[in-house]
Structure 1
Amino acid sequence: MGLGWVLRDENGGFLAAKNVLLAGTYLVKEAEALCVREALSWLKVTGLGRVDVEMDSQLVCNAIHSVSFGSAFGYLVDDVKDLVSEIEDVKFYFVKRSANRAAHCVSREAFSETGCGEWLDSPPSFLVNILHSDIMN
């Protein structure tokens, strides 16, 4: 399973991106929660805060805003909530999948020849057109 995320500034400009390839089979909601957890873990290491997390899984977004519940998915959401408590000012928003194309592109790239990576300051070539298109819309 490929996970990916993109960090942008308040104007939509590229700051960083990362993707990870994980072994295993997961339900979609679990994969989405895992991705948020991994992205927040990475963000915590960078020392950055004051971020808006946009995701195209309304189920995961709602779960993060709700009370805890006992299940594999619930425990993943609890991990996300624990990480949020360690990072300054994190907010979660649901967005349409079309608004999340860059993150999906980065996650798919985990399966390509170039594989997994982390890009800081300059976007990878496979992402440039999508980022440009997003800013223009």
Structure 2
Amino acid sequence: MGIGVVCRDERGVALWGWGERRRQEHDGRVAEAEAVIVGLRWALKMKHKTVRVESDCQDVVDALHGRSLGRSDFHSVISDILDLCNNFNYVSWSLISRRYNRAAHNLAHFCTLGSGNFYDGTTMPRHIVEMAKADLNARKKI
């Protein structure tokens, strides 16, 4: 399973990212929820106060909007995410197509198994930086 998070500014410039490959096998929605919580934890470390979370997983976005209740591993991660949100001034959730989320998806698969890698704006792999800009620019054309 891979987890990829890319933090961009409003112009699409990649500010930082996190990529990790794990041996765990979860369904896609648990992996996506774990990516959200990793992203929020890094956003806290980087002292962001306003966060816009974009996910290509409908189940995650619905659960974060309170449309999905349960006691599964997935819902436990969702509960942790919502608790973490109390540390921000503003958090929003939106569903995006995977074709506009290529940077995070590729970063999740870029890292070697068993390692987590933080990248700042100067160490981020160039192809991920370019994908982050392209993802945002492609959405603006819709």
TM-score (norm. length: structure 1): 0.87
Partners of 1:39 and 1:95 in 2: how far apart? 16
The sequence identity of aligned pairs, in percent, is 28
Aligned to 1:45: 45
Aligned to 2:57: 57
Q: Once superposed, what is the RMSD of the aligned Cα atoms?
A: 1.9
Count of residues paired in the alignment? 135
Partners of 1:131 and 1:46 in 2: how far apart? 19
Aligned to 2:19: 19
Provide, for residues 76-96 of structure 1, a one-character-per-residue CA deviation record: whole Å limited to 9, x for no partner: 100010111112211110001
Aligned to 1:91: 92
Give the letter aligned to residue 13 of structure 2: G
Partners of 1:77 and 1:51 in 2: how far apart? 16
Query: Secondary structure of the equivalent of 1:131?
Result: helix
Partners of 2:9 and 2:62 in 1: how far apart? 24
The alpha-carbon deviation at position 23 of structure 1 amounts to 2.8
Query: Secondary structure of the equivalent of 2:78?
Result: helix
Give the letter aligned to residue 119 of structure 1: Y
Displaced runs of 4+ in structure 1, greater than 4 A?
none
Unmatched segments (≥5 aa) in structure 2: none
Partners of 1:40 and 1:126 in 2: how far apart? 23
Partners of 2:118 and 2:137 in 1: how far apart? 25
Give the letter aligned to residue 134 of structure 1: D
